[in-house]
Amino acid sequence: MARTTPKSASTLTFVEVSEIREDTMILREGQMRSVLAISAANFALKSQSEQDVIISTFQGLLNSLDYPIQILVQSRKLDLTQYINTLKEKEVSQENDLLRVQMMEYIEYLEHMVDAVNIMSKNFFVIVGYEPVSLKEGLFGSFFRALNPTRVIRQKQEEFVKNRQVLMQRVEQTASKFDSLGLKVNMLNTEQLIVLLYNSYNPDVAESIRLRDVASIDVAI
């Protein structure tokens, strides 16, 4: 009797995100998440007194929050392909012979460095969440949904708008606190959330595949 090989699980079974709508991730059970990109700080270059101030401020920031946050640090190989291609285009249009030679040598140096050394970049993110209180619909709720699906869709949209307002209040509060540390804060939009999720679940191919032309699309995962 032939032994059957179990089919490997799809990546989607490990993804908790069910939908991305209006720059907001919605998890399978209705929880909502927004992601803030945070700039880095040269902590090691600060003086001891400056480091103490940063640590104290960050401690106060965490203690002042009455909701949980997640801090994500993502390391990826730095892709200089686009930068090198831009330099090559400028090299062709460069009229000064000396500058053209210098640009050519610089491009060769970059290409050699990229081949010889893995240049890593680090990205820092803060994930802010909100878990709305919702009642299970039960048998009666399923029956009501079948009778009047349009009203149910409208109610779900109204709940999404109301819950997102609460989430955005938390996002603004969190962003202002990190801004007090002298860090730049930017909330990821729909396109950036898709790229973040894709790179997180596909680290081996993230360097060669780029997602484009999805800025105006809300995609269900």
Summarised one tens digit per residue, pLDDT across range 16-30 is 888 888 899 998 888
What is the rounded CA–CA span in Å between residue 214 and residue 55?
39
Domain-wise residue ranges, the chain: 17-76+122-134+166-221, 79-118
The predicted structure's pLDDT at residue 157: 81
The predicted structure's pLDDT at residue 213: 42
Share of the chain above pLDDT 90, in %: 26
- Cβ atoms < 10 Å from Cβ of 32: 21
What is the rounded CA–CA span in Å between residue 200 and residue 195?
8
Q: Are 75 and 122 in contact, with CB atoms under 8 Å apart?
A: yes
The predicted structure's pLDDT at residue 70: 93
Q: Are 168 and 135 in contact, with CB atoms under 8 Å apart?
A: no
The predicted structure's pLDDT at residue 205: 63
Q: What is the pTM of this model?
A: 0.68
CATH topology of domain 17-76+122-134+166-221: Alpha-Beta Plaits (3.30.70)
What is the rounded CA–CA span in Å between residue 66 and residue 79?
39
Count CA atoms closer than 13 A to 49's CA, side-chain side: 0
What is the rounded CA–CA span in Å between residue 60 and residue 172?
17
In tens, the pLDDT along 99-123 reads: 889 999 999 998 888 888 777 778 8
User: Residue 187: beta bridge partners?
Assistant: 36
The predicted structure's pLDDT at residue 93: 87
All residue ranges of the chain with pLDDT < 50 are: 1-2, 135-136, 138-149, 151-153, 208-209, 211-221
